[in-house]
Amino acid sequence: MAGKKDEDRKDIKDSRRKEIVNAAFELMLEKGYEDTGIQDILSKIGATKGCIYYYFKSKKDVAIAVIEEVIKPHYQSVWGDFYKSDDPLKALCHVIDGIYDSDAARLSKTGCPLGNLILEISAKDAVLANHTNAVITIWRSFLETGLKKAKDIGIIPKSFDISKVSDFIIASFEGCIMMSKSNQSKETLKGCFSSLKNYISSLRAG
C-alpha cells in the first residue's frame, strides 16, 4: 500500500513539473525568454513561488528543461525518421508539408520556438546556447543521414556535400518561418516552404 502511495505522489510531482515546463514553453514562445518571469509562470499555472523552486533553481533551469523536454523531443519526433523512406528527398518534402499543415497558423504568429531562443540568447548566455546548439546538431544529423542515404542509392549526385546542404536546409527552413512571422502571414510561409521544397527536389541526380 505504501508503494502505491509513493507512486501516486511521484505521479503528482511529475505532473506538476511538466505543467511548469509546458507553461514556460508557451510563455517564452509568446513573450520571449527575457520577458518571461517566474511570476508569469506562477500566474499561468496558479501556483506559489515555492512550487517552482521545488523543481528548479532558476528561470534558466526552467528554460533548459523547455529545450530538453519539449523542443528537442519535438525535433526528434518530426525529423528523426524521414531517412527510412525509399525516397528520402520526397519524405523530407512531406515533413515540411506536415509542419505547414499542422502548425502554420502558430508559426506565422509566434515564430519557431528554437529559432526564437537562438536569436534571443545565443550571444547572451553560453549555457542556454549550448542547449539550443545541441538541438541544431541533432537536427543536422537527421538531415545528413537522410541525404547520405539518398546519395548512396543514387538519388542525389555523389559530389554533393551533404553537410553544407543540410545547413542550407536548416537556414532556409528557419528563414521561412522568420519571414512569415515578420509578415504575420501563412501565405508567406507557404510560398517560402514551396521554394525550399523545390530546392530539395532539384538535388536529384540527372
Looking at residue 49, its pLDDT comes to: 83
> Is 100 among the domain residues?
yes
What are the Cα distances from residue 77, in Å, to 2, 27, 155, 186? 37, 22, 24, 23
Looking at residue 81, its pLDDT comes to: 95
Cα angle: 178, vertex 66, 37; to 5 degrees: 85
DSSP conformation letters of 41-102: HHHHHT--HHHHHHH-SSHHHHHHHHIIIIIHHHHHHHHSSGGGSSSHHHHHHHHHHHHHHH
> Is 44 among the domain residues?
no
Looking at residue 5, its pLDDT comes to: 46
Looking at residue 133, its pLDDT comes to: 97
* Cα–Cα distance for residue pair 177/135, rounded to 1 Å: 17
> Is 92 among the domain residues?
yes
> Is 18 among the domain residues?
no
Looking at residue 6, its pLDDT comes to: 45
> Is 65 among the domain residues?
yes
> Is 11 among the domain residues?
no
Question: What CATH number should be reported for the domain holding residue 167?
Answer: 1.10.357.10
Number of domains making up the chain: 1
Instruction: State the pTM of this model.
Output: 0.90
Domain membership of residue 67 as a residue range: 59-202
* Mean pLDDT (10-residue bins), the chain, 206 residues: 50 80 96 94 90 92 97 97 96 98 96 96 93 98 98 94 97 98 97 98 88
> Is 54 among the domain residues?
no
